[in-house]
């Protein structure tokens, strides 16, 4: 056998193995936790009437930070339990796929809060976050279970429908409507998807 051919075969094998290794770690607990945190943030936003765009951005970005940190800890705990490296190739690829849309959404969504402190900006901010978060999930879905892509499409479709309805009807939202939108999508959808995964996911996933 030509040694170059042997090397090429090894490269192909490596490529195929990397492509087929999907991120499956702790998805159900992460989704459930994100859902609970989202619902909790919505309750806080509605109860304390968080209206000004800076307070709104602070509440939801704070919730996002807690959710990301908790997700990181949950995934790390499972990796330690299974004696696997935390930064496995699928984890790296999921991280790389999530980062650009999340950072873009963070910047573009946060822009209204920097420019104005009016509640009218909250609704648009929420829709921009939904849109970019959906794109992030869809990108990461190439390295995760197939359902994640559809989950991402749910956010994208929701954001587009709401953006179009704002455009067509001229509806600006009420002072608290952005909290409802965020609670429904980031709280309700994550929670529902977490429950679905809890009952359908294999019990011993590998990263």
Query: Residues in the site for another protein, rule: CB under 8 A?
Result: 1, 3, 6-7, 9-10, 12-13, 16-22, 202, 204-206
Within 10 angstroms of residue 173's Cβ, the number of other Cβ atoms is: 19
For the CB of residue 14, give the shortest distance to another protein in the complex, in Å: 8
For the CB of residue 202, give the shortest distance to another protein in the complex, in Å: 7
| Nearer residue to another protein within complex by CB, 24 or 54 | 24
Return the closest-CA partner of residue 95 out of 46, 144, 53: 144
| Nearer residue to another protein within complex by CB, 22 or 59 | 22
Contact yes or no for 159/131 (Cβ under 8 A): yes
| Nearer residue to another protein within complex by CB, 19 or 72 | 19
In DSSP notation, 4-32 reads HHHHHHHHHHHHHHHHH--B-TTHHHHHH
| Nearer residue to another protein within complex by CB, 132 or 143 | 143
Contact yes or no for 97/137 (Cβ under 8 A): no
Rounded CA-CA distance 26/98 in Å is: 17
- DSSP three-state, residue 144: strand
For the CB of residue 35, give the shortest distance to another protein in the complex, in Å: 22
For the CB of residue 29, give the shortest distance to another protein in the complex, in Å: 19
For the CB of residue 106, give the shortest distance to another protein in the complex, in Å: 32
Return the closest-CA partner of residue 155 out of 103, 99, 193, 106: 193
| Nearer residue to another protein within complex by CB, 55 or 145 | 145
């Amino acid at each position: 056998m030509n040694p170059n051919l042997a090397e090429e075969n090894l490269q192909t094998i490596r490529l195929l193995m990397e492509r087929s290794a999907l991120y499956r770690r702790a998805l159900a607990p992460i989704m459930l936790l994100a859902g609970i945190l989202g619902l909790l943030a919505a309750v806080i936003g509605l109860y304390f009437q968080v209206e000004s765009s800076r307070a709104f951005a602070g509440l939801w970005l704070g919730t996002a930070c807690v959710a990301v940190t908790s997700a990181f800890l949950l995934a790390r705990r499972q990796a330690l339990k299974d004696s696997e490296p935390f930064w496995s190739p699928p984890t790296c690829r999921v991280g790389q796929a999530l980062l650009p849309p999340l950072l873009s959404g963070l910047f573009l969504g946060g822009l209204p809060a920097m420019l104005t402190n009016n509640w009218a900006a909250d609704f648009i901010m929420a829709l921009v976050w939904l849109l970019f978060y959906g794109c992030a999930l869809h990108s990461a879905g190439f390295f995760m279970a197939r359902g994640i892509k559809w989950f991402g499409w749910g956010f994208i479709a929701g954001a587009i429908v709401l953006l179009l309805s704002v455009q067509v009807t001229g509806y600006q939202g009420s002072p608290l409507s952005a909290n409802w939108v965020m609670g429904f999508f980031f709280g309700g959808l994550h929670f529902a998807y977490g429950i679905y995964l809890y009952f359908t996911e294999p019990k011993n996933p590998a990263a």
